[in-house]
Amino acid sequence: MSTRDRILDAALASFGTRGFESTSLDDLAAELGIRKQSILYYFASKDVLLGAVVDRTIAELGGVLEAALLRGERGWPRIEEVVRAVFRLASRQPAFLGLLREVNRMGPDVADEMATRMGSLVSRAVHFLAADMKAGLLRQADPRFVLFFVYSTVVGTATDPAARTAMGVPGGIAGLRQLRRELLGFLRAALAVK
Amino acid sequence: MSTRDRILDAALASFGTRGFESTSLDDLAAELGIRKQSILYYFASKDVLLGAVVDRTIAELGGVLEAALLRGERGWPRIEEVVRAVFRLASRQPAFLGLLREVNRMGPDVADEMATRMGSLVSRAVHFLAADMKAGLLRQADPRFVLFFVYSTVVGTATDPAARTAMGVPGGIAGLRQLRRELLGFLRAALAVK
DNA sequence: CAATTTACCTACCAGTTGGTAGAATGGCTG
DNA sequence: CAGCCATTCTACCAACTGGTAGGTAAATTG
């Protein structure tokens, strides 16, 4: 694995959990067994590194979501497919969704860039939802809001371990499976036609 | 308004939006028109200040939630009451819920303290949910998970403006009202007996 | 083989961080 | 008035921040 990729991986992990500003290049380098200047050799500045991490994350997330969207059948199965895909991603790389939340803290420029990057994916999802609602497969509602709520619920459950323990939701692998099952039940009820 | 309270307010606003580590005492002081050492006069260290902010936030949040819990009737009305109360709080002080999320970034000690502080409130909410489920007023599910999902959805929608704009959910006062309406519809469907 | 590029390093810097020491101010009480 | 206490300040400091300058060894290339 190339040094460049190792840096990107470590940066994603740290940015997504500790946060961008709380991550120092020195710590990052120490974690990798190299010097800070080697990071700056590959990425001209900390901001450039962040950009590269965000780019790679969005690209991978986009690919996973798109594949899931095309894989699932109309209506609920497609949504379940997407949620399962996100769950897989989140359990393999916990910092992944954390980085999405981190965007809120950084300037509106980063948020705007993210928005445009995700634009086509979002509009496709919205159209899917609208079509499924029209076909009577999902509860009638504003699809943009529904997408936003599903996103918030899934990302929230994955990125708020403090609340999770506070509310007595078990952890571990078995807990994760149960969480996924219950979450799917919750969302399915929220989207089902009454 | 006392200097101490002004410091607490400014700290809540900054910790809850920019984050704890990204907030410098100098900036905080400049914002208040005082020197950093005046902050350290009231709060021995930055961590002590954080503790005070968290304490006050949890206390106020606890009071608001408890009142809402007792105000609403069994079943969905009680939940709607709570969600509306949280919405009011979030729209008046946007940093409020942001601080809750911030806990994840800080050590597990802070998270544990938060968990114990919220413990009685959580267990009461869980018992309410369990009773309402048993009475057939809400969909049968594990009440801890349901509480966690509702929390994640509400807090997520309130603390992720980047995702909100990315998904084309309108902002402003009118947008906020619409968001509340759609969110209540979403949650109601998620909790209704099928 | 000479020249250049790649990949990583040491040394350093200016600015910012949280925090300490101690003085000036002003109100209150004896 | 004298003394005390609360409040806020100036002056510093050591540690850490992202980033620059420049060197070195190995690999690649002409």
Which DSSP string corresponds to B83-114? Answer: HHHHHHHHHH-THHHHHHHHGGGS-HHHHHHH
Burial class (CB in 10 A: 0-12, 13-18, 19+), A184: middle
pLDDT at B77: 97
Give the whole-number percent of chain B exceeding pLDDT 70: 100
Question: pLDDT tens across A137-166, in order?
Answer: 999 999 999 999 999 999 999 999 999 999
pLDDT exceeds cutoff 90 at B142: yes
Question: pLDDT tens across B20-63, in order?
Answer: 999 999 999 999 999 999 999 999 999 999 999 999 999 999 99
> Which chain D positions have some atom within 7 A of a protein CB?
7-11, 16-22
Q: Residue A156 CA to D4 C1' — how many Å?
A: 54
Mean of the per-residue pLDDT values of chain A:
95
Contacts of B159 in chain A (CB under 8 A): 104
pLDDT exceeds cutoff 90 at B67: yes
Mapping DSSP to helix (H, G, I), strand (E, B) and coil, where does residue A74 land? coil
Is B23 near strand C, with its CB below 7 A from some atom of it? Answer: yes
Check residues B107 and A34 and name the one with the higher pLDDT: A34
Mean of the per-residue pLDDT values of chain B:
94
The answer to whether B169 contacts A122, with C-beta atoms less than 8 Å apart, is no
Residue A60 — φ and ψ, nearest 5°? Answer: -65, -45
CB-based contact, A175 to chain B, within 8 Å: no
Average pLDDT of A11-35? Answer: 96
| Exposure of B96 in the CB half-sphere (CA atoms within 13 A) | 21
The answer to whether the CB of A11 falls within 8 A of the CB of A23 is: yes
Tell me how far CA of residue B134 lies from CA of A51, A188, B177, B193, in angstroms.
50, 21, 32, 11
Question: Over the Cα atoms of chain A, what is R_g?
Answer: 18
pLDDT at A85: 96
pLDDT exceeds cutoff 90 at B110: no
Type of residue at A120: S
How confident is residue A194, by pLDDT bands cut at 50, 70 and 90? confident
| Nearest CA-CA partner of A122 in B159, B186, B166 | B166
How confident is residue B108, by pLDDT bands cut at 50, 70 and 90? confident
pLDDT at B194: 79
Is A34 near strand C, with its CB below 7 A from some atom of it? Answer: yes
pLDDT exceeds cutoff 90 at B136: yes
Contacts of A179 in chain B (CB under 8 A): 145
CA distance B154 to B87: 8
pTM: 0.94
Residue with CA nearest C1' of nucleotide C8: A38
Tell me how far CA of residue A4 lies from CA of A10, A33, A40, B5, in angstroms.
10, 13, 11, 48
pLDDT at B113: 86
> Which chain C positions have some atom within 7 A of a protein CB?
7-11, 16-22
Q: What's the gap in Å between the CA of B43 and the closest CA on chain A?
A: 22
How many C-beta neighbours within 10 Å does residue A22 have?
16
Q: Which residue of A has its CA nearest to B126?
A: A167
pLDDT at B78: 97
The answer to whether A145 contacts B119, with C-beta atoms less than 8 Å apart, is no
Residue with tokens 């499924």: A132
Mapping DSSP to helix (H, G, I), strand (E, B) and coil, where does residue A145 land? helix
Question: Which tokens go with A192?
Answer: 């089902």
How many C-beta neighbours within 10 Å does residue B193 have?
11
- The H or E element spanning position A56 is helix A46-71
Question: Which tokens go with B147?
Answer: 């509480």
pLDDT at B107: 80
Question: pLDDT tens across A56-115, in order?
Answer: 999 999 999 999 999 999 999 999 999 999 999 998 998 999 999 999 898 888 888 889
Give the whole-number percent of chain A exceeding pLDDT 70: 100
The answer to whether the CB of A118 falls within 8 A of the CB of B155 is: no
CA distance B134 to B119: 22
Task: Report the nucleotide nearest the CA of residue B38, measured to C1'.
Answer: D8
